[in-house]
């Protein structure tokens, strides 16, 4: 039913460290410069593969004046990027040379990974996944194609009690349970070559998380079409949850819902994609606005801090 992950959205502070990390260090392409549609005086930046394919897009609301968040229950507490299995030594050296805080390699569910934090303290992982296909050419910087990030490997969710979260994901949304290790139950969703792992962590010892700078706002799953999105929304209502109606995000249509553990989930359509308002070879080069904000362009441009 679902085609793996669509995107992950987090909250960041200043734009320049963000660009230096995701574009210049990790080699992702800046594929869209737009505004937060619900808070249009702030940036919303998208990074991903050269086309912004679903399953590769890491997006950020930029709130420079916001406080730091607190990691805890009801959140995505780590986002994993898939890299080739033999690329971890390259990434270890590259991160050390850039003086980026990282540890590992560690092993979980027989997968090796590096733990990394971005400039705002957002927890990330570089996960060795030779079974994962995606883009194979770096978008920018000095990352060789053989070591490039392929897209999202998966996410970890932390909740106080896991049973109801697992019931929704596994029993209603048809995620596949594939293993348990320590406080984690691992689920999978998506087709071969784009399988995303969802680790549900039961953490009664953690406080409730505070979503602000350095924390994930939501995780989005890829619904291939409107009909699938409709079925997902119906299933969420069947289990007693309260999904939103369909929201137009220009590049996809979205339904939002908090699962029983408090994590905000989004179900986003594959299309129409990021080329609806820019050609592929010019993605991310200028500020683009949704039609309903275009008449405010001059005002919004004066409010947004410079990126470069």
The residue ranges of DSSP E strands in 67-195, in sequence order, are: 75-83, 102-108, 111-117, 123-128, 151-159, 176-181, 184-189
Assess whether the previous peptide bond of 105 is cis (omega < 30° from 0): yes
DSSP of 56-82, one letter per residue? -EEEEEE-TTSPB-B--BSEEEEEEEE
Among the residues of 119-248, which ranges form H helices?
163-166, 226-238
pLDDT score of 133 more than 90: no
The tens digit of pLDDT for each residue in 173-217 reads: 999 999 999 999 999 999 988 899 999 999 999 999 999 999 999
Q: How many domains does the chain have?
A: 1
What pLDDT was estimated at residue 159?
A: 98
The tens digit of pLDDT for each residue in 241-272 reads: 999 999 999 999 999 999 999 999 999 999 99
Question: With bands split at pLDDT 50, 70 and 90, how would you rate the model's confidence at 138?
Answer: low
Whose tokens are 């989004």? That residue is 266
Give the span between the Cα atoms of 232 and 225, in whole angstroms: 11
User: Mean of the pLDDT values across residues 89-113?
Assistant: 96
For residue 166, tell me if it sits in a domain: yes
For residue 83, tell me if it sits in a domain: yes
The tens digit of pLDDT for each residue in 8-34 reads: 999 999 999 999 999 999 999 999 999
- What is the CATH number for 293? 3.10.180.10
Both tokens of 129, joined, read 């996944």
For residue 71, tell me if it sits in a domain: yes
For residue 308, tell me if it sits in a domain: no
In whole numbers, what is the pLDDT of the chain averaged over residues? 94
Model pTM score: 0.96
User: Mean of the pLDDT values across residues 288-303?
Assistant: 93
For residue 20, tell me if it sits in a domain: yes
Question: With bands split at pLDDT 50, 70 and 90, how would you rate the model's confidence at 139?
Answer: low
The domain of 170 spans: 5-303
For residue 62, tell me if it sits in a domain: yes
For residue 63, tell me if it sits in a domain: yes
Both tokens of 9, joined, read 């959205």
What pLDDT was estimated at residue 134?
A: 66
Whose tokens are 């800046």? That residue is 30
DSSP lists the bridge partners of residue 157 as 76, 200
């Amino acid at each position: 039913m679902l085609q793996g992950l669509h995107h992950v959205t987090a909250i960041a502070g200043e734009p320049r460290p963000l660009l230096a990390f995701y574009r210049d260090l990790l080699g992702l392409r800046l594929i869209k410069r737009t505004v937060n549609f619900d808070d249009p005086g702030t940036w919303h930046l998208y990074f991903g593969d050269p086309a912004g394919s679903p399953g590769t897009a890491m997006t950020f609301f930029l709130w420079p004046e916001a406080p730091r968040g607190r990691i805890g229950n009801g959140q995505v507490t780590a986002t994993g990027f898939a890299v080739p299995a033999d690329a971890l030594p390259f990434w270890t050296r590259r991160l050390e040379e850039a003086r980026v805080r990282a540890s590992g390699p560690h092993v979980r569910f027989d997968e090796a990974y590096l733990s990394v934090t971005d400039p705002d303290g957002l927890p990330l992982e570089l996960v060795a996944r030779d079974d994962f296909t995606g883009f194979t050419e770096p978008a920018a910087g000095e990352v060789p194609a053989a070591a490039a990030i392929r897209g999202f490997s998966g996410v970890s969710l932390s909740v106080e009690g896991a049973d109801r979260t697992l019931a929704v994901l596994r029993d209603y949304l048809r995620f596949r349970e594939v293993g348990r290790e320590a406080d984690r139950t691992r689920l999978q969703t998506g087709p071969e070559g784009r399988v995303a792992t969802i680790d549900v962590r039961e953490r009664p010892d953690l406080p409730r998380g505070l979503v602000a700078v350095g924390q994930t706002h939501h995780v989005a799953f890829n619904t291939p079409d409107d009909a699938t999105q409709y079925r997902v929304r119906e299933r969420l209502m069947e289990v007693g949850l309260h999904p939103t109606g369909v929201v137009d995000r220009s590049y996809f249509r979205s339904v939002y819902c908090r699962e029983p553990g408090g994590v905000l989930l989004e179900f986003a359509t594959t299309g129409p994609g990021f080329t609806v308002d820019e050609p592929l070879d010019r993605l991310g080069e200028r500020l683009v606005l949704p039609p309903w904000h275009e008449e405010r362009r001059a005002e919004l441009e004066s409010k947004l801090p410079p990126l470069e």
